[in-house]
Amino acid sequence: MGRKVREPEYTNWFEHIDQAGGAVRWVIKSKDFPANTSVQSRPKVRNGAEIKLDVLNSPRIQEIIIEQAKARGCGKELVDHEAKEILETMAHDYNLKAVRVIGAAVAKVIRQILDGIYVNFDQLRRIRELCKTDSVVFMPSHKSYLDFILLSLMCFDQNVPLPAIAAGMDFMNSKFMGEALRKCGAFFIRRSFGTDKLYWALFTEYVQSHIVNSDRPVEFFVEGTRSRVGKSLFPKYGLMQVMLEPYLRGSVYDVVIVPVAINYDKILEEILYSYELLGFPKPKESTSGLFKAMNILNERFGKCYVTFCEPISVRKHFGLSLHRAAFVCQPDSQFVLSDREKRAIRKLGHLIVREHNKNSVISVWPFACQTLLKYLEDEHLEEFDFAQLLTEVKKQGILMSKMGIELQIDKSLEEDLRYYVALHDDLFAPIDHTKETFAMKLLDHPIEKSGAIDKQVMEKSVGRIVLSNYANKMMHEVADSALISLVLSTIQDHKQNVVYSKFIYLQAALARDFVCVPGEEFLSFSAALKQLTQSKILEVFEDELRILDLEAVNYLGGLIKPSLAAFNIVLSVLQECGDRYVTLAQIVTLTQLKAATLWSKRIPSIRASFLSTDPIKNAFFTLEDYKILIKKGLNVKLQAKNYEVIYQELDKVVHEFAAYLKTPSATRNRL
């Protein structure tokens, strides 16, 4: 497990730039983008104006325009004008000449800030062939602004038609950057459509027009937005349904989804993310503004790995499980899915996220961050010695190897660790890297405004949240094994069926923190158990799980325990507030305040990184899934959704969690 980057499978894209004679020569090379020959009625690729015209004249849009005119009591011309304005704002205006100009500038910047971009180009060349016959949809992981830029650059490099990219409307805050992206194929959509039927129809028709006519591939981020926490986010189902509708209606023979895993040694926005997770308003999403704010041209961000995963044929994936005949007869303005069909589509979204994780490249740095959090947070040390860090990471590397998890080690573990410490030295007090060992002390980061939470705590939490985000990058590899280990270390009954029941309960509780595939709980448990037994951490004896390596069990359980501890603070806040109705904003603020108070008192297992809003929101929405928080209209005063707290059910979860937050009680089984 874990993706290992090796030659010749992966090539450094910078070599292509050098072979061409520099960024300018690379970008002006003649291109041979293949046209899709499967759509006989469209022998040529439509330009932006033709796509907009086709969308406006489609039966779906004409029907919704007439419907909206009647509903509003106005003339059709007025709604028609509104539809044209929406499309003008939304649509891309792809232009190859502009792509070349922008591409040269972007390539120079990326070459200056990164040490290399490693890509499995053979796979991308296979995908180029698919573009000739199939409707292709790229679905990359989303950790940075750079994701869609890098994907377009790699496609340009290999003569793959540049995708039409679904981008947030926020990018249009910078007119220059917005128009530059539009010329490169980006189309802009609102973050939320609400009940705007006209907008929904235009967005749906615009996307599906690209898929049906195969003008160029489409690019969606299945997570919907950038992950600011280093791990995958819960997939967004609405985009999946829009993308799959043409296949289900029989408008296309197949849709081919290409998951793309993109991993960075250092995220451009790492400090920005930390501030956002503390609740500070994010700046306008202008890439040029970000570059200016971070002064990135004077920094290094290490290496980047772009992995094009195995394409997923929607036709083969669903087979006979989704019958298309029922959808073909539905009117264009309707697309009604049964609960079973919705579950099947949602599961596909989770499978795509799993592909991202399966193809992730994991370095030694996440393990170093896990170690630093353990000592600087859990044990409240002020600094940590590099030599001791190296010792701990070596032990973890040996354990991962036993578990079949490959780490990306370029030179040696020590040399790589020194490289990553130097790459992230802006997190620490000045370090003399020439020394054999040195003290690592986290820097405080300035907070302009102080509110209810102590300013000093907030300043200390910034760097700790950054470490937590990097530590999360390895959790998908061990989450299930860690859940089993935590159960074994906290309950006395180790019968396999008992452990399994506890496992599925915890996996569901943390499903928003560690995305899993619904309906495959037993497969997840079996795979994790196999991993633990093959690595001699556990053995199965007469349907009982026996611990062979207690140190490994305690370590793995300790990896997942902070997530439960953060969830538990949300539970205690809900219990203590005693209000019948709450809002998400209230619970976020109260949880941050309580976490800060507990951390200041140096309460064991409480971390300053718990101030991050992400785990708080995940816990909140999980409780909504459990029907412990039930949506009850609008809080007019706060202009936020009201949720009723079902305290009887809440108490049950609190009781269940209590067992897993105690000191480990497991001992090695006597043979």
Measure the CA–CA gap between 121 and 117, rounded to whole angstroms: 11
Residue 373's identity, in one-letter code, is L
Residue 470's identity, in one-letter code, is Y
Q: Which helix (H) or strand (E) holds 645?
A: strand 640-645
SS3 136: strand
Query: Per residue in 341-353, pLDDT tens?
Result: 999 999 999 999 9
Query: Per residue in 175-190, pLDDT tens?
Result: 677 888 999 999 999 8
Structure token pair of residue 271: 């400090």
> Does the pLDDT at position 202 exceed 70?
yes
Measure the CA–CA gap between 214 and 195, rounded to whole angstroms: 29
Query: Per residue in 580-623, pLDDT tens?
Result: 999 999 999 999 999 999 999 998 889 999 999 999 999 999 99
- Closest by CA position to 481, among listed 420, 386, 559: 559
Which pLDDT does position 79 carry in this prediction?
Answer: 96
For the chain, percent helix, then strand, then coil, each to nearest 5?
55, 10, 35
Measure the CA–CA gap between 438 and 390, rounded to whole angstroms: 11
Which pLDDT does position 308 carry in this prediction?
Answer: 98
The lowest-confidence range among 4-18, 41-55, 525-539, 565-579 is 41-55
Secondary structure letter of residue 33 according to DSSP = P
> Does the pLDDT at position 328 exceed 90?
no
Which pTM does this prediction carry?
Answer: 0.94
Rounded to an integer, the average pLDDT of 417-437 is 96
Rounded to 5°, the CA angle 55-56-57 comes to 90
Query: Per residue in 611-624, pLDDT tens?
Result: 999 999 999 999 99
Which pLDDT does position 3 carry in this prediction?
Answer: 83
> Does the pLDDT at position 293 exceed 50?
no
Structure token pair of residue 540: 């199965």
Which pLDDT does position 577 carry in this prediction?
Answer: 92
Rounded to an integer, the average pLDDT of 281-288 is 53
Which pLDDT does position 41 carry in this prediction?
Answer: 52
Q: What percent of the chain has pLDDT over 70?
A: 94
Rounded to an integer, the average pLDDT of 548-561 is 96
Query: Per residue in 363-416, pLDDT tens?
Result: 999 999 999 999 999 888 999 999 999 999 999 999 999 999 999 999 999 999
Q: Provide the CA 563 distance to its chain's centre, in angstroms.
A: 17
Query: Per residue in 90-122, pLDDT tens?
Result: 999 999 999 999 999 999 999 999 999 999 999
Q: Provide the CA 192 distance to its chain's centre, in angstroms.
A: 19
Q: What percent of the chain has pLDDT over 90?
A: 80
Which pLDDT does position 39 carry in this prediction?
Answer: 63
Rounded to an integer, the average pLDDT of 216-227 is 94
> Does the pLDDT at position 294 exceed 70?
no
Secondary structure letter of residue 232 according to DSSP = P
Which pLDDT does position 670 carry in this prediction?
Answer: 33
Measure the CA–CA gap between 557 and 565, rounded to whole angstroms: 12
Which pLDDT does position 662 carry in this prediction?
Answer: 72
